[in-house]
Structure 1
Amino acid sequence: MKSLKLFALAALASVAISGSAMAENYKFAVVPKAMNNPFFDLTRDGCLAEAAKLGNVECIYQGPVEHEPATQAQIIEDLITQGVDGLAISVSDAAAATTVINKAVEAGIVVITFDSDAPESKRSAYVGTNNKEFGKALGEELLKLKPEGGTYGMISGGAAAPNLAERVDGVREALAGSKWTEVAGSPTFSNDDIALAVQQASDLRTANPDIGAIVPIGGWPLFAPDGWKNFVDPIKGDVESKKLALVVADTLPVELQLLKDGYAHVLVGQRPYEMGEVSMRTLLALKKGEKVDQIIYTGLDRVTAANVGDFLK
């Protein structure tokens, strides 16, 4: 009888061990394009908050300090070697990222992209903005602001970033057939360098003194509020009269305050915090063998002087 009891206890212990193994802990890494870009700070915050809620997930936030596609690819290689359970990547260069994404998948790591996609890779899903619609929204807001048209220039980030190319196409599509024409040399490419983006805004106006609009398709120049104010202040009258329209991507708190203070006319914003949250949930679902949508859009916000107070709250 005693041996039967011991056998039963051993069987129960085996079940308990088996049950705990089923509730595994996972390490999921979020790899931004650049860690010096405050946009991705919000993705990091969403990732960390959702990981804490889930309980059995650790969020690792690791990427290049600056926008460097080769460094991003090497960091992904290192994370593969470390044996992380999942990767969420904002793709800097589609070709370079596709190679390492496929390598990660072949190593048994679940991979999704966020913010910027590599659709030809073996990634399981994309979480983030519909970038073509994002660009179209920027163009539409410019048309609302100045239907009479004029000349405009765009400021972009990395030349090889697929999400930014889609935004450029979206702006052009929205303005096609209107009285707006794009200046030579547009878009400029800042490589997500905040100071360079401010300088490029100044350069666009210097090269085109009568330019009617500047459209940064990412928030980079406004992430340096003092630099942006230094650019706008000498021409504040032109901005206030809308002779120069400023329609800018993203709605980070610093941008919302600049809009409220009259340093921009319209912001079209993404939802980077939600990207971090949804990425964690999506990776966990994939790790559990569940089906997920291949494309998961997190939405857009349009902010003007009329509703900026709501967003600042």
Structure 2
Amino acid sequence: MKITRIAAVLGAMIAATALAGCTMPAAETPKTDAAGGFQCEEGETYVMNVMVSAHPYWVPVYQGFKQAAEAMGCETAFSGTPEYDISKQIASFEQDLVENPAGVLLHPMQSDPFIEPINAAIDGGIEVVTFAADSPESNRTSYVTSDNRAEAAFAAEEIIKVVGEEGEYAVLENPGQSNHDLRVTAFIDYMAANYPGMQLVGRQATNQDSNKAYQATGSILQANPELDAMWIPEAGSAEGAAAAVVEAGSDVLILHADVTPTALDLIKDGTIHMSLNPNQGIQGYMGFMTLFMAAHPELIDPFNDYKASGFNPAQVPFIDNGFSVITKENADSFDLEAYMEGRSTE
């Protein structure tokens, strides 16, 4: 009965609006910039800032970012640092702010060190949205990523499907980066809760370094010759792990997140079983859209208390860009060189 009454009230409101010519009374019309719409002013620029800027992961993300920006007449710039160094990434982010962009789409190497820089940027009128990795205690407006828990659960179920419910597994990790941490901890927790017969026998930090991963995997294999599977939160370490497995002549099922051209070749030849790859183009596209909305809150008048509270009404705490499963059968669809044919890299 309650639902029926609510529906009746809503129906009456809709009918009243229709009789009034589908318009709100002038005094109640939201003060949005409808004339300008989803278009940038001349020279309005948005920056994408990352760590290890030469990593191939960023390429499709930036392409999606640019595609959305170009559709709205906006300028973009790619920034970051070539090193895996938190202080240098923060310095590059702060240098971006000197140019006074409308907003920055940021992949923070670590969460906590970026809290104050992000908050300072927003206090200075420059919006910040995070992607792929987060700084949840900051005032960033939105976070765009794949569901790392879902990735971990999918990986665990795939391992069980192939090797069974009893055996040994190992993980490599990259402590300090939020998405990688979650991929590993969620995987271990999922295995412990659902498949207690699977034993964690190795866990080592390799920090996206293929050489460290090669050495770590060799040590794990030497201590655990019956190892059945490995889960790795990124592709660089998976490359090193695969080399160690091949050298040892072991039959270890390797699954990892993300993808690189080298890892893709290893999937094609069967050395790596599978990759769970975030939909990078969607990540960049939705990253730009949420960043633009954060910089243009006048375009939205939501049904909440933003006017009284003073917060940015374009808050979208989390967007799941989804992930794709890469196997030998569909690997050609993830060829980065083919994807970039005819595209501008600027």
TM range (shorter): 0.7 to 0.9
Q: Does 1:131 align with 2:148?
A: yes
- Gapped regions of structure 1 (runs ≥ 5): 1-17
Residues 198-232 of structure 1, C-alpha deviation per residue, up to 9 Å, x if partnerless? 3333332233322221211111134x5xx666434
User: CA contact under 8 A between 1:149 and 1:180: conserved in structure 2?
Assistant: yes
User: CA contact under 8 A between 2:217 and 2:245: conserved in structure 1?
Assistant: no
Give the counterpart letter for 1:136 in structure 2: A
Q: Which residue of 2 aligns with 1:271?
A: 279
**CA gap 1:310/1:87 in 2 versus in 1, 3 angstroms:** closer
Q: Which residue of 1 aligns with 2:129?
A: 112
Greater Cα offset, 162-171 or 21-30 = 21-30
Structure 2: how far apart are the matches of 1:41 and 1:153?
Answer: 30
Q: Does 1:161 align with 2:174?
A: no
Shift of 1:144: 1.6
3-state SS of 1:191 partner: coil
**CA gap 1:258/1:22 in 2 versus in 1, 3 angstroms:** closer
Structure 2: how far apart are the matches of 1:182 and 1:146?
Answer: 14
**CA gap 1:203/1:40 in 2 versus in 1, 3 angstroms:** farther
Shift of 1:298: 0.3
Q: What are the equivalent positions in structure 2 for 1:1-313 lying under 5 Å apart?
A: 23-55=41-73, 57-157=74-174, 159-176=175-192, 177-178=194-195, 179-184=197-202, 186=203, 188-222=204-238, 230-236=243-249, 238-239=250-251, 244-289=252-297, 290=300, 291=314, 293-308=316-331
Shift of 1:24: 4.3
The two structures have a TM-score, normalised by structure 1, of 0.81
Number of aligned residues: 284
3-state SS of 1:28 partner: strand
Give the counterpart letter for 1:245 in structure 2: L
Residues 40-67 of structure 1, C-alpha deviation per residue, up to 9 Å, x if partnerless? 2322232233333332x22211112122
Shift of 1:23: 3.2
User: CA contact under 8 A between 2:210 and 2:241: conserved in structure 1?
Assistant: no
Q: Which residue of 2 aligns with 1:12?
A: none
Give the counterpart letter for 1:295 in structure 2: F
Q: Which residue of 2 aligns with 1:13?
A: none
**CA gap 1:134/1:143 in 2 versus in 1, 3 angstroms:** same
Structure 2: how far apart are the matches of 1:89 and 1:117?
Answer: 9
3-state SS of 1:62 partner: strand
Structure 2: how far apart are the matches of 1:206 and 1:84?
Answer: 52
**CA gap 1:228/1:204 in 2 versus in 1, 3 angstroms:** closer
**CA gap 1:172/1:233 in 2 versus in 1, 3 angstroms:** closer
Greater Cα offset, 124-133 or 279-288 = 279-288
Greater Cα offset, 169-178 or 203-212 = 203-212
3-state SS of 1:36 partner: coil
**CA gap 1:199/1:54 in 2 versus in 1, 3 angstroms:** farther
Structure 2: how far apart are the matches of 1:309 and 1:88?
Answer: 29
Structure 2: how far apart are the matches of 1:59 and 1:22?
Answer: 11
Give the counterpart letter for 1:202 in structure 2: G
Structure 2: how far apart are the matches of 1:299 and 1:233?
Answer: 31
What percentage of aligned pairs have identical amino acids? 23
- Gapped regions of structure 2 (runs ≥ 5): 1-34, 301-313, 339-346
Residues 5-63 of structure 1, C-alpha deviation per residue, up to 9 Å, x if partnerless? xxxxxxxxxxxxx97x97343221111132132212322232233333332x2221111
3-state SS of 1:32 partner: strand
Q: Which residue of 1 aligns with 2:31?
A: none
Greater Cα offset, 33-42 or 100-109 = 33-42
3-state SS of 1:116 partner: coil
Shift of 1:189: 2.2
User: CA contact under 8 A between 2:40 and 2:72: conserved in structure 1?
Assistant: no
Structure 1: how far apart are the matches of 2:329 and 2:99?
Answer: 49
Give the counterpart letter for 1:143 in structure 2: I
